[in-house]
Amino acid sequence: MANAKILVVDDEPAIRNLIHRFLLKQNYQMESAEDGKTALQAFERFKPDLVILDVNLPDTTGYQLCQQMQTRTDVFVLMLTSRSDEADKIKGFSLGADDYITKPFSLVELGARVGALLKRQRMVHTTDQNSLCFGSLTIDPVRREVTLDQDLVPLTALEFDLLYFLASHPNRVWRRSELLQEVWNYDYVGDQRVVDVHIGQIRRKIEGNATQPTRIQTVRGVGYKFEPNPPSDTVS
């Protein structure tokens, strides 16, 4: 995305300035912030296309800030942290983060992740698209809402896109690489297990038992498929 706007939020001046200068040379429009309060002010004023967000901030956490930003817009969020624990990644993704990179990192890798994210476009659905209904589960592409037993299911932007895509192609098996291309809309340069993380999050929200899913099924050695008629919804 030419001349995309990027906001860097990190309380370490050396890292913040290094990222800022590097991406400025790549012809991105840049803003920086050192804490959550300043970041939100810059976010409202600058309206970035992408936020590079450190997890550890002096007045808040990157997780909370990510969630606040995602309630305002579908801005892309790249989490930046020294943590490498899988649980931290899952938490970031569950709150709307699009990608995750751990310190120390190379600027070349950061640039590749940024470029890949900005090539992606959020799925946009037209008003003539009908809701998808599977028993007690309804997926509304226009409102971007999912309901289960008439209760609203809180999904992040990525979770909705992934669920809607799978449900739009029931019974078809998709490889992780295919889902990354179709849903993320770019050749993901990170770990393909990011798909597993998001599938796990969706299952916890729409499956009766996430450890024994019936709607989003794993096809061992291949990938995932959406089952339109899970046993619980079958009428005998």
Q: What is the pLDDT of residues 16-71, one digit of tens each?
A: 999 999 999 999 999 999 999 999 999 999 999 999 999 999 999 999 999 899 88
CATH domain 132-231 topology: Arc Repressor Mutant, subunit A (1.10.10)
Q: Is the pLDDT of residue 214 over 70?
A: yes
Residue 36, SS3 per DSSP: helix
Domain ranges of the chain: 5-119, 132-231
State the pLDDT at residue 236. 36
Give the model's confidence band at 73: pLDDT under 50 very low, under 70 low, under 90 confident, else very high. confident
Where in 5-113 does DSSP place strands (E)?
A: 5-9, 29-33, 50-54, 76-81, 99-102
Residue 224, SS3 per DSSP: strand
DSSP classification of residue 130: P
Q: What is the pLDDT of residues 95-128, one digit of tens each?
A: 788 888 888 889 998 998 898 888 776 555 555 5
- The architecture in CATH of the region 5-119 reads 3-Layer(aba) Sandwich (3.40)
Helix (H) or strand (E) holding 41, with range, is: helix 36-46
State the pTM of this model: 0.68
Q: Find, among 161, 138, 137, 107, the residue nearest to 213 by Cα.
A: 137
Q: Is the pLDDT of residue 202 over 50?
A: yes
DSSP string across 161-223: HHHHHHHHSTT--EEHHHHIIIII-S---S-TTHHHHHHHHHHHHH-SSTTS-SSEEEETTTE
Q: What is the pLDDT of residues 128-176, one digit of tens each?
A: 578 899 999 999 998 889 999 999 998 888 889 899 999 999 999 999 9
Residue 85, SS3 per DSSP: coil
State the pLDDT at residue 120. 72
